Homo-oligomer: A and B are copies of this chain.
C-alpha cells in the first residue's frame, strides 16, 4: 500500500466519523448519545492507529527518500504529511487520552460555570487545560513562545509575534472606528414577524444556489449551532438556525456556511484526504465564509438584486424600502457577547481573547486573574464592563474544548476576506459583475487563486500570491470605514 493510499484510508475513516458527527448534531434521537460517542471514539482511535503505525511511518520515510522533487504538488504533500505526522508522533498516547478526559470534564464544568456565572467552577479545569497546552507546546517545540506551537495547529507558518503586530495595528484603528460606527448607527427593526421558516429555507436555498453552492454535492439542515462539515470529496453539509422574527439571521448564517462549503467544493476532488485536497488553514477557511457573508451578503449591490426577491417571499417587506432594510442590516452596537457582535465591532472581541490566551500561555497572568484581566481589557476597548462573567470570560466554548489558539483565525478570516475581495474586484470584469450581483466571476477567481491550491502553500504565501501582499489590515479597515462611517 503506497503512502498516499494510506493517507486516503485515514481520510476515509475520518470522513466516516464526520458522517456520525453530522448525524449526531442533526437527527440523532436524544436517547442515543452514549453509543454514538462509542462509535466516534472507535473510529478516532482506528484513524490514529493507522496514522501512527510503523507501516505508515515507513511508507512516509520511503516516499521522502525516493521523491525527486520534480512534482511540486507531491513535494508539498510530503512536506505537509511529515509536519502532521511529526506533530502526532510527538504526543504520547497517555497525554492525548489525558487531554481528551480533561476536555470532557472541562466542557461539563464550563456549562455549569456559565450557568451559575461562577468562574471558580471552571478555574481548576482551565488550569489543567492550560498545563496540557503548555506540555504539548514543549513536546512540539516553538521558536519564541509556547503559543507559537498551538497556533501552528490552526494557522500554520505564522507566529504569535506576527499576529500580535497585525492585531495591535488593527486595534489601534478599530477602537475609534467602531466607537464612531456605534455612535452613528441608526438601527431600524424589520416589519413584524412571522418570517415563516419554510419560506426562509426557500429563499436561503435560492441565494445559496445563485452565489454558487452546488446542491448536487451538498445540502443544508437545521441545528442549534450552525456549522459546515465535509463527509466526502463531493458531500458538503451546512446547517443553520432560524428566527421567525428576522429572516436575515438564517440568511447571513447560510451565506457564511456557503462560503466554507464552496471552498470545500472547490478543493481538488481527486486529492481528497491529501494535503493538496484539503483546506490549508482556519484563517483561510474563515476568509471564504466572511467574504460571502459580509463583503458580498451585506453589500448594497447584493441587495439591489435580492431585496425585491426577498419582498416577493416575505410580504410584510412590501412597503419597507431598501434604504431602511440596509440600515437594519448595517446596525452596529457594542455587545458583551462575541457571537452577537456585528461586523464593525467583532474583531475587538477576538483581539481581547488573543491577548489573554497569550498572557496565560506565557504565565504572565494566573488562571484566577482571568476574569479581572478580561474585564480590564474589555473596558479598554468597549468602554464598559460585562455585567457578569457568564457574559464575560465564560461566554465561549473554545477553551473548555482545549481550543486555545483558535480565536485569532476569526480575525485573520476577516482581514483575508477584505483583502481577497479587494484584489478580485480590482479586476474590471469582476467588479462589473459584482456591481450587478453576478458572482460567478468572483467565485471563479477564488477557485483559481485559493480553492484549487488546497494545502500546498502556507496561508501567508497563498495570500501573497493571490493579492500581492501578506495579510494586512488596510483593506479591511478601508472596507469597514466605507461601510460604517
Contact = CB atoms under 8 A, between A and B. Distances in A.
A175 B176 CA distance: 89
Given A23-B23, A219-B27, A16 B32 contact: no
A234 B12 contact: no
A28 interface: yes
A218 interface: yes
Interface residues of A, number: 35
Chain A, interface SS category: helix
Interface string A20-59: 1001000111111011101100110000000000000000
A231 interface: yes
A23 B25 CA distance: 13
A215 interface: yes
Contacts of A29: 215-219, 234-236
A39 B20 CA distance: 12
A42 B30 CA distance: 29
A188 to B, nearest CB: 34
A20 B5 CA distance: 22
Interface string A377-407: 0000000000000000000000000000000
Nearest to A26: B27
Contacts of A272: 35
Contacts of A233: 35
B42 A12 contact: yes
Interface string A54-73: 00000000000000000000
Contact of A30 (B15, B35, B43, B216): B216
22 contacts: A9-B42, A12-B38, A12-B42, A15-B35, A15-B39, A16-B16, A16-B43, A19-B23, A19-B39, A27-B219, A29-B215, A29-B216, A29-B217, A29-B218, A29-B219, A29-B236, A31-B214, A31-B217, A34-B234, A35-B234, A35-B235, A36-B232
A36 B232 CA distance: 8
Interface string A91-118: 0000000000000000000000000000
Interface of A: 9, 12-13, 15-16, 19-20, 23, 27-32, 34-36, 38-39, 42-43, 214-219, 221, 231-236, 272
Contact of A36 (B23, B35, B39, B235): B235
Given A23-B23, A219-B27, A235 B16 contact: no
A221 B42 CA distance: 27
A172 B38 CA distance: 52
A31 B213 CA distance: 13
Contact of A12 (B12, B15, B39): B39
A32 B34 CA distance: 29
Contacts of A19: 19-20, 23, 39
B27 A16 contact: no
Contacts of A43: 16
